[in-house]
Chains A and B, each alone.
Chain A
Amino acid sequence: MAQALLIVTILASLNVVIGTTIRSINERIDVAIFFKETAPEADILALKQAVTGWSDVRDVIYISSKDAMNKFLEENRNRQIIRSVIPEEENFLPASLEIKVTDPYKIESVVAQVRASQYAKLISETSLEDNQKIIERLRNVSSFVQRTSVTLAAVLVAIALLIIFNTIRITIFTRREEIEIMKLVGATDWYIRWPFIIEGMMYGAIATLFTSLLLAMGYAAIVQPMMASYLISASGNPAFSAGFLVFLVTLQLAVGLVVGGLSSYWATRRHLSI
């Protein structure tokens, strides 16, 4: 039974981790609007003001062409070949607004709104066309995963509950003679019940602690390399900070204790003739 509980909790926590990853990916889906060289900065900033106020928009960042150039140079500071080709004075990178949306499915409508606004003629192009396919795929995967992960989590919790319930049931049966004597001698119901509830909580706690350990190891081995890929940038990503992991572990522990305690309580209710 310990192994079964282990597997269940491992799956449950993987579930949670994938869920948070998906959410962080969703937050990274944004669109960049590039402006013509002739577009005046004041107008772009005005557009930024307007867009920031829209309900579907989480955040808007303005990158002037100077900023864009600096960023480009910074990212490529080790590549001499590229730097040698760039002329000193000219700035060929356009200014842009990076818009982050609240819901990945709203990207198209936000872009459409911008295009329909009075600033439309300032726009040279958006990143939407390039990334359309990727965005599609990301959205499909993420919504699928989110839907299945909720059902999966519910099923897993139910299974864990049943496993602990059954184990406690067996313990109660094994100790029934002792329990009968306790009742005869005048022990109250809770006096008899508490040891079983604590036993159940122990099962829950140990199982979750063990899986947290495994998860920590898995994180170091698998997730960290993943953070190097361009889809998930490490800086400021909440999913993988140490604080968040601690939160995840405590949450799991709490769930383990509650599930363990509750299911053994029910086992005592049903199988102790108290």
Chain B
Amino acid sequence: MLDNVSFTIRPQEFVTLVGPSGAGKSTLVKLLLCEEKPTFGRITIDGKDIHLLREKYIPYYRRQIGVVFQDFKLLPNKTVAENIAFALEVSGLPDDEITKEVEKILDLVGLAGRGESFPKELSGGEAQRVAIARALVFKPKFLIADEPTGNLDPKNALEIAKLLLKINSMGTTVLLATHNRDIVDLINKRVISIENGKIIRDRRRGKYDTDFDYKL
């Protein structure tokens, strides 16, 4: 549950949303994806209130936002290339164009040539890259990553964080929700801290604050 949360993200900004589990990070992500509606207040992207959208337009809105999750959410019965292509198929792009796009994206995330592997053959880090690749397939202006490193070992987590920074430097606004201290410290960009549904801190350049040590 969120309580009176308000903030603005500028284009091409990299914002890290931190807080313990249950603080409200995932709820915020759901609100941004129109999976849930706010009981009060507005969410606007490029000045347009996204919750005024009619239900049938929500899929089109979602295609403009790239999302990455902790559990990757890949289709296990499809290859890496097919998983990425799937997002494009859903929008009706012709097949030959899809193949080209998929190749480019695989290259971008550092998985060139792995197109024919299946998700279960990949390491955690590789699987998350596929998920990121899929999220980028529509060249979104906005990328949301909800605990992307949750299932990854520290080394892979780092790689993903670097990939996100690279994507941000290419012009995509990034919102990263996480409770991984090391990642937040490494990224060293704007940090919004949430606890019990309230924003308690919003720093231009921040580290994961030590106030968050778990009080037992």
A7 within 8 A of B: no
Interface stretch (choices B18-26, B83-91, B102-110, B169-177):
B83-91
Which A residues are in CB contact (< 8 Å) with B67? 184
Subset of 27 A-B contacts with CB under 8 Å: A178-B75, A180-B73, A181-B74, A181-B75, A181-B86, A182-B86, A182-B90, A184-B62, A184-B67, A185-B62, A185-B63, A185-B86, A185-B87, A185-B90, A185-B134, A186-B60, A186-B62, A186-B63, A186-B87, A186-B90, A186-B138, A187-B59, A188-B56, A188-B60, A189-B56, A189-B59, A191-B90
- Chain A, interface size category, equals 10 to 19
**A186 x B73 contact (CB < 8 A):** no
Which residue of chain A lies nearest to B138 when distances are taken between CB atoms in the complex?
A186
Which A residues are in CB contact (< 8 Å) with B61? 186
Which residue of chain B lies nearest to A186 when distances are taken between CB atoms in the complex?
B63
Instruction: Say whether chain A's binding surface is mostly helix, strand, loop, or mixed.
Output: helix
Max chain A Cβ within 10 angstroms of own Cβ: one of B59, B63, B91: B59
A183 within 8 A of B: yes
Closest CB in chain B relative to A146 CB, distance in Å = 46
Which B residues are in CB contact (< 8 Å) with A182? 86, 90
Which residue of chain A lies nearest to B87 when distances are taken between CB atoms in the complex?
A185
Within 8 A of A (CB), among B57-116: 59-63, 67, 73-75, 86-87, 90-91
Closest CB in chain A relative to B162 CB, distance in Å = 24
Closest CB in chain A relative to B199 CB, distance in Å = 26
A 181-201 to B, binary, CB cutoff 8 A, 1 in contact else 0: 111111111010000000000
Which A residues are in CB contact (< 8 Å) with B91? 186
A186 to B140, CA, bound (A): 12
B 25-62 to A, binary, CB cutoff 8 A, 1 in contact else 0: 00000000100000000000000000000001001111
7 additional contacts (CB under 8 A) given A186-B91, A188-B59 = A182-B90, A184-B33, A185-B62, A185-B134, A187-B59, A188-B56, A189-B59
